[in-house]
Structures are given as structure tokens and as C-alpha cells.
Structure 1
Amino acid sequence: MGAAQRPGHARRSETDAALTTGSVARRLGVAPTTLRSWERRYGIGPARREEGRHRRWTTVDVGRMEEMCRLTALGVPPAEAARAALEATGADAPRSRNGGGRGGRRALSLPLGNVRQECRGLARAAVRLDAPAVESQLRVTLGEYGFTTGWEEVMAPALHAVGRKWASSGERYVEVEHLLSWHVSSALRRVADAPEDASRPVAPVVLACVPGEQHTLPLEALTAVLGERGVPTRMFGAALPAEALYEAVRRIGPSAVVLWAHSRNSADRALVRLVAETEWGVRGARTHSAVLVAGPGWSPRAGTYAPGVERLTGLRTAADRIESLFAA
């Protein structure tokens, strides 16, 4: 432990810790095919090649590619970015402070904190408006972690970081937020609908944003997790009118109704009472759906809205509670 390192020890450790192309792609938010294409076209890639083995990236190789990604995010053409990155001294090379690129626009720096490398890769791909890389990163994330961890530890932190940057920069970077939101929404909707047995009536879960509410992604994530768990749902998306929600509950007879509100202005107490009082079922045996409110717009004391109303917090605990209601 305390012995001095022999000459060459650091070089061996660097090689031992070298990364695969797939790992580097996830870290940088670049599709593996893009890395291979850049290497083929511009000569930038792993400096070390061992015959009969996959390519391995050292920290210096990764730092050089990070510089390439930074420059292309600024709008520098790939060929020029590759030349500049190759001329740098390595991963610790000082970076330009003048904004560089076309029109002097600075690269978007996202305060992500301590997050998974897939989250950093996703954010970097979104900043570059690299739709194929965003798509690839989401596919890898959901395949490896599933919808719950994928949302909580990769997608949501990246979305929040982009949203904070947009809010602090006026209307700049709105294109990044829109592109990332679109692809996240598309990825969340790829979960297969839970199969339903026509011979055994089921009471699915209704999910809807309250009137005037356009923030749907957290509710889409919940819908995806429920589908992953085999809970049938009816998702109505953004800003469902109160009358339409009432008719949906009356016609479907759901086991539970989840109402999402992002802001206090859209959190409608009267709507909660309306849903809680809505009856469904055959005459003489009417019943009610469980009403659950979700999102930061609602008060923690949701029971004051109507008897039995619960407030959901966190994707995982929300899915657990809904699953238990569906199974009851």
C-alpha cells in the first residue's frame, strides 16, 4: 500500500482501466457508430491498438474526444474540431475561454452533480442536438436499468438540468429542452400495454393532467412503470377538461384515478372532489374510485381535498401504491 510506484506503473494502470467504445459512447452521449466514423474520417480515436482485441480507450483518449464533442457542440465543423482536439495536450489540456465556435456561442454547461455516466452522456447528446445519440442513450439506459431507475437516475436529472439552464438563460437553449423532452417521451411510450383478459373484467388505472396542465413527462414515466409491472392503464395526457375526466371515470370505472398538477395554480381542489364523488357500477351497487394526486402543485395534506384522497410522492412509491390498489 505505502510502497513507491515503480516506473511504468501508472501506464499499466491506465491501460488496465481502459474503456470500451460502448462505455465511452455512453459517457459522452455519442452513438458508438459516431465514434467509429470520427476515427475513420478524422483520425481521432484510441491511440492504442492491439491486434486481435477490441479497441480500448485511455483517459487521455477520452479527454481528447471530450474536447471534440465540446467543439462540435459550439458549432465547429467536425473536421476542424478533430484537428483542434488532436493538437491539444490531452485530457487535461486547457480549454478556450472565449466561447469559440460560430458566433462566439458558449457550450452549455449543465450542473448535473453526482449522477450516472448515462445521465451525463444523455445531457451532452442533447446539448449537441444529436438526436441519434440521444435515442441510443435512452435505449441503452432503459434496456439496462428499466423505467423506474432510468427515469429517476438518468432522464429526470438530465431534464431538470436542462430546465434550470433554460430558466437562467432566458430563451436560450430552449431547443435543447424540446429535443430532449420529445425523445424521452417517445422512449417512455415504448412500453407494451399490459395484456387484459377480456373474460375477466378489470378496473384499470386512469392517469390525467388536470385542466391547464401541460407537464406530462412525470405522468408518462408513471404510466410506463405501471405498464412494466402489468397494471393496465388509461392515460389521457395533458390538460384533460373536467367534463371529459368525469365521463372517463364514469364509463371506465377505474380502480384508481391519478391527477397530476405541476403548479399550485393548476391544482384544482374542486376537481378532486368531483372525481372522488363520481360513482360508477350497476344500479344498487355503485362504488367509487380511489383518488390519488401527484406532482408539486398539490398540498401535502391531500386528505383535506376530499375524504380518502392520497398524495403520491416519488415514482417508485407511487407505482407501489397504485399496484396495491389495483390488486385489491
Structure 2
Amino acid sequence: MYDSDHGITTGAVARRLGVSPTTVRSWDRRYGIGPLDRGDGRHRRWTPADVAMLEEMCRLTASGVPPAEAARTVRRVRASPDALPVNPGVPASAAPDAPSVGAGPEPPSAARRSGAGSGLPLGDVRQECRGLARAAMRLDAPAVEELLRAALAEYGLVTSWEEIMAPTLHAVGKKWESSDDRYVEVEHLLSWHVSTALRRTAAAAPAATSQAPPVVLACVPSEQHTLPLEALAAGLAERGLPLRMFGASVPAEALDAAVRRSGPVAVALWSQARSTANHALALHVARTAFGVRGARSAPLVVLAGPGWRGPALAPGTVRPAGLREALAVISRLYGEDAGAG
């Protein structure tokens, strides 16, 4: 509740916006977007108009606008006769007129910014990465969901994964590794929403009608990273290709049984690190033949992920460079246009 005479505290504002009180104070100190009336003792007390200004700041930074530029925008609006609409009951991430991801005519490979702003080691990446990173660092789940939805709608699955989702996930992982296990909650929240967006993409695709053998997707034993396989599954679903997803850390015996029972045209094995890559298992799968005598066949093994780097490729295996190439390789096995979808 607002106190009509004194406003609300910085802590209450931070809880409403889904950011830390330190962030709110930093915006005030660095960018001059604090409350107009500080009251006695210079304690910050935020009126509904002040909170509306911060909500606009959150909306802009969540869409990828650098904080300094966003602050200049909200200061201009506050100084103009037409003030920001005051609606303190609506959180910034739920505002109906939030700017959409990637608005404007720029092609997918454009709109890169090299400046800092999210606190993550992003480097020279798309502006949408910075917006997604800032929303994740604030634990702003509605904003993360909306940014992912808008990116997929505008750029499609492959570009969204390769240029927005994967770089942001990588940056969050690096931040966690370099900060004494801090920000684990950020990685979990972002991973959950990326997984949800990928599965929604797969669910929205038309059901596969082909009677051809499926593609088997599995993580090698001891491998827990499933998001890249979920992206591949969504891409295959978009193309109407049959698939069987087995998820994380599939035991070797279970993988062998799945391959023999389903008779796949291809088996995609994900390995995130060299410590989990099992080349003997991959070779075993590539040599697994099935079908009637005289017409037996074996699956193509798609070695997916950075863990497979190093040794020369064994017969019956391929090592695509990324999602786009993996989809092209598998599509050709079905006689499909490699650029479809």
C-alpha cells in the first residue's frame, strides 16, 4: 500500500519490480532517476509516479536497451508535460505496451552492442541477449518468458537458439563458475524458461505423419545438459520429422535397447564436456544393425556438443558444428530440404 503522504520505501519498490534494493539505489545514484521527494534525512520515499518511472526503466532494459540510455529516456519523459502513466498495480514485466524483442527492420545478424550492462560476460552479442540477461539477473520470470516468446516469433527457432538463447545461457554459466557458486538461481530460472519455450515450439508443430524410422535423441551417460537436445527436438518437430527424446544421462544399456527397439535413421548423442564423451559407445551405436536379413541398416550417429571434439570421426558418425548444421544433416536423411523451417 502507498502512504499518500510519504510514499513507499526502496525495499518495497525493489520487491514490486523484482530487482534488488541495491539496483534501485544504483539507478538513483548513477543515472539520477530517484524519487523527487526524499523526505526528512534524505531517505528515499517513492510515489506512484516514481515507481511508474522505474517500471519504464525495467521495461526498456529488459528489451535490451543499455541502462544509461534507458535512464535518459525516462528522465526526458518525467521532464515532459505528458508524464508516464501511473499504474502501480502492474509490474514492469507485465506492461501491455512493452517494446517487442527485435523491433525494427534490422536483420537477425545485426543489432549487436558491445557495452556492458547485464553484469554477465556476454561480449559482442545481440541486443536481445542483453535484455534476456538483465531480466534473468533480476529473476523477472514474466519478462524472460516474453522475451523468449518474442524472439522465437520474430527470428525463428534456429536463430533464436544460436544467437540469443545459447549465448545468454553460456554467459550465465560462466558467471556462476567465476563467482563462488553465486547466481545458481539465475541459471535455473533461465534454463527452465528456455526449456519451456523450446517445448512449446515443439508442441505447436504439426504432428509427424511420416512412417519413416525416427531420430533418437539422448544424452550420454553422466551428461545432464539437455537444452541443446531440446532445441534439436523442436527443430525436428517443426520439420514434421519423427523423433524419440530420452533426455539426460541415458545409461548405455538403455540407449542400446532404445536403438534396437526403434530402429532409428539417426541417433543424436549430446556431450557437453570431454569427460562425458563416450566414443566407444558412439561407435557401438553406429555399428548396431537392424531390419530383415539382407536389408539390414545402421543409424547415422550425430555427435552433438563440444565434448566430442578431438579424435578423428569413426565410420557412421558425423560431428555438426551447431543446431543449423545438425538439422540439415538429419533432414537430408529423410530427403527433406535442408533449409526447411
TM-score class, shorter: 0.5 to 0.7
Q: Does 1:238 align with 2:261?
A: no
Q: Which residue of 2 aligns with 1:189?
A: 199
Q: Which residue of 1 aligns with 2:279?
A: 269
CA displacement 1:187-225 (0-9 Å, x = unmatched)? 11112355233xx62111111100110011111111112
CA-atom RMSD, angstroms? 3.0
1:319 corresponds to which of 327, 332, 338:
327
Q: Distance in 2 between matches of 1:135 and 1:231?
A: 27
Q: Which residue of 2 aligns with 1:162?
A: 172
Return the offset for 1:246: 1.0
CA displacement 1:208-245 (0-9 Å, x = unmatched)? 10011001111111111222222221111101111111
Aligned length: 241
Any stretches of 5+ residues in structure 1 without a counterpart? Answer: 1-37, 48-56, 68-77, 83-106
1:289 corresponds to which of 299, 306, 310:
299
CA displacement 1:102-129 (0-9 Å, x = unmatched)? xxxxx96112222222211111110000
Q: Distance in 1 between matches of 2:146 and 2:248?
A: 27
Which is further off, 109-118 or 255-264?
109-118
Q: 1:73-92 alignment to 2 at 5 Å?
A: none
Q: Distance in 2 between matches of 1:43 and 1:184?
A: 29
The 3-state SS of whatever aligns with 2:53 is coil
Q: Give the % identical residues.
A: 59
Q: 1:222-237 alignment to 2 at 5 Å?
A: 222-237=232-247
Q: Report the CA distance shift for 1:165/1:60 in structure 2 as closer, same or farther (over 3 A).
A: closer
Q: Does 1:203 align with 2:228?
A: no
Q: Which residue of 1 aligns with 2:51?
A: 42
Q: Distance in 2 between matches of 1:176 and 1:65?
A: 28
Indicate if the aligned counterparts of 2:53 and 2:74 stay in contact, CA closer than 8 A. Answer: no
Q: Distance in 2 between matches of 1:194 and 1:163?
A: 34
Q: Report the CA distance shift for 1:117/1:247 in structure 2 as closer, same or farther (over 3 A).
A: same
1:63 corresponds to which of 60, 63, 71:
71
Any stretches of 5+ residues in structure 2 without a counterpart? Answer: 1-46, 57-64, 76-87, 93-116, 337-341
Q: Distance in 1 between matches of 2:55 and 2:172?
A: 30
Q: Distance in 2 between matches of 1:61 and 1:317?
A: 37
TM-score (norm 1): 0.66
The 3-state SS of whatever aligns with 2:211 is coil
Q: Does 1:252 align with 2:251?
A: no
The 3-state SS of whatever aligns with 1:279 is coil
Q: Which residue of 2 aligns with 1:128?
A: 138
Supply the AA of the counterpart residue of 2:320: L
Indicate if the aligned counterparts of 2:207 and 2:237 stay in contact, CA closer than 8 A. Answer: no
Q: Report the CA distance shift for 1:299/1:160 in structure 2 as closer, same or farther (over 3 A).
A: closer
Greater length-normalized contact order (CA 8 Å, ≥ 6 residues apart):
1
Indicate if the aligned counterparts of 1:203 and 1:326 stay in contact, CA closer than 8 A. Answer: no
Indicate if the aligned counterparts of 2:118 and 2:130 stay in contact, CA closer than 8 A. Answer: no
Supply the AA of the counterpart residue of 1:316: R
Indicate if the aligned counterparts of 1:262 and 1:295 stay in contact, CA closer than 8 A. Answer: yes
CA displacement 1:151-182 (0-9 Å, x = unmatched)? 11111111111111111101111110110011
